[in-house]
């Protein structure tokens, strides 16, 4: 099976898929798209949304559909997990923490190597329309860090050492991919337990955030 992944390095849904590909030890061609490249995703799926997985029979454009498709041996039990109460609980936490995470991370993501000047300007303009000036987000960082704390604690309390389990599963990939971006924020520090949790997922998933740029 030939697999090509079109992704953004910063995108948590893309990170999900990269972690799953690594966990399942699958080879794929990695194609980091410039954030201002509208033509490539629209040409592949009709809309500008990543991740996109191109495979021998077609393309997929939803992270969980992609993971289910590549996981031929059903190691990550996507269907079973997606129907579970734990999934709903994790999804609710991730939905809640997405906004403060993005307010903290976006002003820094734009200076990571996936961005050129043109894609940085495009990203900043689009995101500032929704969130306000990045300079203000940076000033408010303590507020966002405080907002995140109770939900990070909720996650931490369920780690045994993985989320509600002694073994790594899909929920860990979902949590880790949403939290990973916070590593780019200089003023933010994970608790020791969450940091070790994320680093262990990194190992299991052979995950290297900036692999496409720094190998």
Query: Does the protein bind ligand GSH through residue 103 (CB under 6 A)?
Result: no
Least distance in angstroms from the C-beta of 63 to ligand GSH = 4
Residue with smaller CB distance to ligand GSH, 125 or 196: 125
Least distance in angstroms from the C-beta of 127 to ligand GSH = 8
How many binding residues for ligand GSH (CB under 6 A)?
10
**Contact yes or no for 33/6 (Cβ under 8 A):** yes
Query: Does the protein bind ligand GSH through residue 105 (CB under 6 A)?
Result: no
- Quick one: which H or E segment has residue 55? strand 52-55
Residue with smaller CB distance to ligand GSH, 48 or 193: 48
Least distance in angstroms from the C-beta of 163 to ligand GSH = 18
Identify the sign of the CA torsion 153, 157, 162, 163. Answer: negative
Residue with smaller CB distance to ligand GSH, 10 or 205: 10
Residue 86, classified by CB atoms within 10 Å of its CB into exposed (0-12), middle (13-18) or buried (19+), is middle
Identify the sign of the CA torsion 113, 116, 119, 122. Answer: positive
Residues 16-55 that bind ligand GSH (CB under 6 A): 48-51
Q: Which of 31, 40, 62, 134 binds ligand GSH (CB under 6 A)?
A: 62
Query: Does the protein bind ligand GSH through residue 13 (CB under 6 A)?
Result: yes
Residue with smaller CB distance to ligand GSH, 39 or 149: 39
What letter does residue 34 receive in the DSSP assignment?
Answer: P
Site string for ligand GSH, 153-192 (x = CB under 6 A): ----------------------------------------
Q: Which of 3, 20, 33, 63 binds ligand GSH (CB under 6 A)?
A: 63
- The whole-angstrom separation of Cα 180 and Cα 199 is 10
Tokens of 153: 């604690």
Q: Which of 3, 5, 11, 148 binds ligand GSH (CB under 6 A)?
A: 11
Tokens of 146: 């405080």
Give every CB contact of residue 87 below 8 A, 6+ residues apart in sequence: 81, 170, 171
Whole-angstrom distance between the N-terminal and C-terminal Cα of the chain?
A: 24
Biggest alpha carbon–alpha carbon distance for the chain = 48
Name the residues that contact ligand GSH, by CB under 6 A.
8, 11-13, 48-51, 62-63
């Amino acid at each position: 099976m030939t697999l090509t992944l079109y992704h953004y390095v910063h995108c948590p849904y893309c990170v999900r898929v990269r972690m799953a590909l690594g966990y399942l030890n699958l080879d794929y061609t990695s194609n980091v798209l410039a954030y201002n490249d509208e033509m490539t995703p629209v040409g592949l799926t009709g809309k500008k949304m990543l991740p996109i997985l191109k495979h021998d029979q077609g393309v997929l454009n939803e992270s969980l559909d992609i993971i289910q498709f590549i996981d031929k041996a059903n190691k990550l039990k996507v269907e079973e997990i997606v129907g579970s109460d734990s999934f709903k609980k994790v999804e609710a936490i991730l939905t809640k923490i997405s906004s403060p995470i993005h307010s903290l991370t976006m002003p820094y993501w734009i200076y990571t190597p996936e961005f050129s000047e043109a894609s940085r300007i495009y990203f900043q303009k689009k995101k500032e329309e929704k969130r306000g000036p990045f300079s203000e987000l940076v000033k408010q960082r303590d507020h966002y860090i405080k907002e995140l704390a109770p939900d990070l604690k909720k996650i931490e309390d369920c780690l045994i050492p993985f989320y509600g389990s002694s073994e790594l599963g899909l929920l860990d990939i979902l949590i880790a991919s949403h939290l990973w971006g916070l590593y780019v924020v200089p003023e933010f520090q994970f608790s020791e337990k969450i940091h070790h949790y994320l680093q262990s997922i990194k190992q299991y998933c052979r995950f290297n955030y900036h692999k496409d740029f720094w190998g």
